[in-house]
Amino acid sequence: MRLTFAITSVLIVLLVGTSHAEWYIAAQGGVTLPNGLTNVRGTGATASVKQGDLDQANSGLYGFKIGYFFPGLPWLGLEGDFYHSNPHVKEQNVSRLTPLGVVIPFSVPGSHFSYNNGTVNIIARYPGKRFQPYIGGGIGVGWARLSDVHTFSTSTGQPLIESQSDKSLAYTGIAGVRFFATKRVAVFTEYKYTSSSFNFGGNIAIKADYTAHNLVAGLSFHF
């Protein structure tokens, strides 16, 4: 993703140019607890169709971070946060509200959902030597792919298995704590809240909001 590459490049330039700042890299892993795809509605010819929320399965999460804290303000920093998860859409029954106001039951056989998140976050911490609680938040890009969706051609009515991708703004809120095992190596655990909205075109033809709670742990190296 171009924006993710640009964010990473800017952070690297900042790190190189701030020789006296504390900077770090980190690996992270955990679990995504999605709220499901909510506010689901049609697009194009089906724009007036509303659908029930789509439940999603919990998923593993993995990724990395890169960031630094300002030398004159050791409690304030910037962080690039990147991670991937797969909270697939479950097999379920939902309802659809047609343009005529008729509610129709609808069976969803389930589909694959992959999500990539890249944000730049502002981090505020307690700059203790060993124990550092912190909070933060930021904005970036969310990239989602919905695949193996059983649908129908809008032109022929024939059954299809469709895949679509979309990118949108992503918003993240963070609260965590870091513990330094040595002067340079720390372990951390944090909670991340993620929010994005996607428009899956083609014959899938739905818009939906995606939000999730993410529980993460990791290892960071400070320089």
Return the sign of the alpha-carbon dihedral for residues 201, 117, 32, 211: negative
- pLDDT at position 98, please? 64
| Domain coverage including residue 136 | 2-222
72/54 Cα distance (integer angstroms)? 47
- pLDDT at position 19, please? 46
pTM of the model: 0.84
User: What total of structural domains would you count in the chain?
Assistant: 1
Domain with 118 in it: what CATH number? 2.40.160.20
| Distances from the Cα of 39 to the Cα of 35, 42, 166, 194, angstroms | 11, 10, 16, 16
- pLDDT at position 152, please? 55
- pLDDT at position 96, please? 73
The series of mean pLDDT values per 10 residues for the chain, 223 residues long, is 54 49 94 96 79 93 97 95 97 76 76 97 96 98 91 58 92 98 97 97 87 98 96
| Distances from the Cα of 183 to the Cα of 31, 35, 66, 187, angstroms | 28, 38, 18, 12
